[in-house]
Amino acid sequence: MKVTVIIFIQFEDTMPNFADKQFIYEINTWVWLDELSSQFDKPITLANVPEAAIDALSKPGIDYVWMMGVWQRSEYGRQIGLKWKHEYTTALPDLTDDDVIGSAYAIGDYRVADAIGGREGLATFRAQLQKRNIKLLLDYVPNHVAADHAWISEHPDYIVQGKDGDLKARVSDFFAAQDKDGITHVYAHGRDPFFPGWSDTAQLNVFNPDLRRAVGDLLLDIASQCDGVRCDMAMLLMNEIFSATWKGYVGAAPEKDYWAELISRVKTRFPDFIFIAEVYWNKEYDLLVQGFDFCYDKVFYDRVVANDMQKLRQHLIAELAYQQRLLRFIENHDEPRAYETLGSLRSYPAATLLCTLPGGTLLHDGQFVGRRIKLPVQIKRAPEERRHPQLEEHYTALLTETCSPVYLKGNFYLFTVNPPATNNLTYLNIIAYGWWNEAAGDYRLIVVNLTEYRSQGRVDLSPWAWLKNKRWSLYNVLDGEEFARHGGGMTKDGLYIDLDPYESFVFRFEDLEEMTPAPSPVGGMHNEVF
């Protein structure tokens, strides 16, 4: 028998000092600037982004803009990209050599690329965001640098060293290069333990205290230019994982983990600077303890894509303080486009879940309008695609709704959904949860059907005892429909709902009147269907 164990964790001492729900909007910087250059018929860099383009980023509720890929890329990485450019034509059929710029995650130098405006251009762009109360996120790639980074020549001890035999025995994991004194070294490519090395990278030795000091200085410089970093494959730097991956090539693990040391150092100088971990392998909790503000919630993504409602519900049982530290997404630059993966219909309820659940929300440029083509991070141009304005309207309604204080400082509750009648198992398709602030009289009920089946159930609202003895208007903020219900019936028998395939609702409760005693509850009739 399989037993599911739910662990509840307290984070009170390490909660970030900002509102609990944050919206982060990821932009592929080079691609975005290329599109703006075409739109405005002149070269656009970060130094001269038109105000109209900044206004377009200022969607309701967006807290951070993550400009992915601003750092100077590697020329060596570009040459590797050119060798593989045939693979990029699936995304961009008319690809040219000029479109290939090398991987955003084979960083040649942590300086903003001159071609997109340089450091001063980034500062100008950041100031434009700040006028609109939007903060700036950038990338940090802790595991590796480009295979032609200056550290290869100047600080070979910063890189994991191999042996001569590794060049033949592990040809995909090691390469040879000379340092500044002309001495040839065998260096490791950056990798995770389950895949061959990334051929355009060199693996940093994060157990080297000199490297840690250098990286600490680097992060302080980055923190002076932005408001936070998204840290690529952050779990690879944990002592236990790094030791296992590079056993026999690195020494004993330091007493303090990489992230605990570096995050503490940065936050001493920049206390409001945030760290976001791209993390897998169930290491979210460990990295939160080490100081991260948010960790990727890949479990949420996998269960939405798999359409597994019961496992998704189990995932949402976790303590609110933990869920608030998860960054949820249904696409990003590493994953296929949501509109392609989920389809045109399922994209709507998935968006409702994504935006109204607790925790951070990661949104991706093009997600609102239903782009389908996943771009390689090695190219700077995107093909034109059809826009889907109804999906954009749906996202706009959700973002406007979640500006309400109840999502920022309210309480969250995952409701039980019961069967409406014997032998009707479609209730298992429904996820129902709510937000409330009783003192402010602010209540929301969200019900979602991610499946292709019409589904019915009764949402057990008995935990919301304050609904009793009042009549309520349930206003659906997504389409403007409004329904009157009595609190007595909703808390006693449950609120009957009937959802079409891929349907979702966000109900705002509005007090209609005080009523004592309560009338007989309403329920079970189809005219009660939402």
Residue 137's contacts (CB-CB under 8 Å, 6 or more residues apart) are: 24, 64, 65, 66, 67, 226, 227, 228, 229, 230, 274, 276
The reported pLDDT for the residue numbered 6 is 43
Amino acid 460: pLDDT: 97
Question: Does the domain spanning 411-528 belong to CATH 2.60.40.1180?
Answer: yes
Mean pLDDT per 10-residue interval, the chain, length 530 residues: 43 47 96 98 98 95 97 96 95 97 97 98 98 98 98 98 93 95 96 94 98 98 98 98 96 96 97 97 97 98 96 95 96 97 97 97 98 97 97 97 92 96 93 93 96 97 93 94 92 95 96 57 34
Q: Output the pLDDT for position 1.
A: 38
Q: Which pLDDT score is estimated for 438?
A: 86
Q: Which residues of 222-238 are buried (b: 16+ CB within 10 A; e: fewer)?
A: bbebbbbbbbbbbbbbb
Helix (H) or strand (E) holding 27: strand 23-28
**Where does 12-140+293-403 sit in CATH, by number?**
3.20.20.80
The token pair that represents 27 in the structure block: 């932009």
Q: How far is CA 46 from CA 33, 51, 122, in A?
A: 8, 12, 6
Question: Measured between alpha carbons, how far is residue 370 from residues 57, 66, 88, 504 in Å?
Answer: 17, 19, 20, 18
Give Dmax over CA atoms of the chain in angstroms.
Answer: 90
Q: Which of 513, 456, 445, 458 is nearest to 484 (CA)?
A: 513
Residue 513 confidence (pLDDT)? 74
Q: Following CA atoms 404, 405, 409, 412 in sequence, which dihedral angle do they give, to the nearest 10 degrees?
A: -40
- Nearest-angstrom CA–CA distance, 495 and 418: 10
Whole-number pLDDT of residue 5: 40
Residue 7: per-residue pLDDT: 45
Instruction: State the alpha helices, DSSP H only, in 146-253.
Output: 150-154, 166-169, 209-223, 239-245
Question: What is the location of CATH 3.20.20.80 in the chain?
Answer: 12-140+293-403
Ranges of H-type helices in 190-319: 209-223, 239-245, 258-269, 284-289, 298-306, 309-315
CA gap 228, 250 in Å, rounded: 30
Q: For the chain, what is the mean pLDDT?
A: 92
DSSP conformational letter for 75: H
Where do you find CATH 2.60.40.1180 in the chain?
411-528
With CA atoms as reference, report the closest residue to 261 among 197, 195, 213. Answer: 213
pLDDT at 514: 56
pLDDT at 524 (0 to 100): 34
Distances (CA, A) of 385 to 78, 97, 108, 382: 26, 22, 32, 9
- For 481-514, what is each residue's pLDDT tens digit? 999 999 999 999 999 999 999 999 999 999 987 5
Could you give the CA distance from residue 377 to residue 368 in angstroms, rounded to a whole number? Answer: 20
DSSP 408-470: HHSEEEE--EE-SSTT--GGGGEEEEEEEEGGGTEEEEEEEE-SSS-EEEEE--TT-GGGTTE
The pLDDT of residue 439 is 86
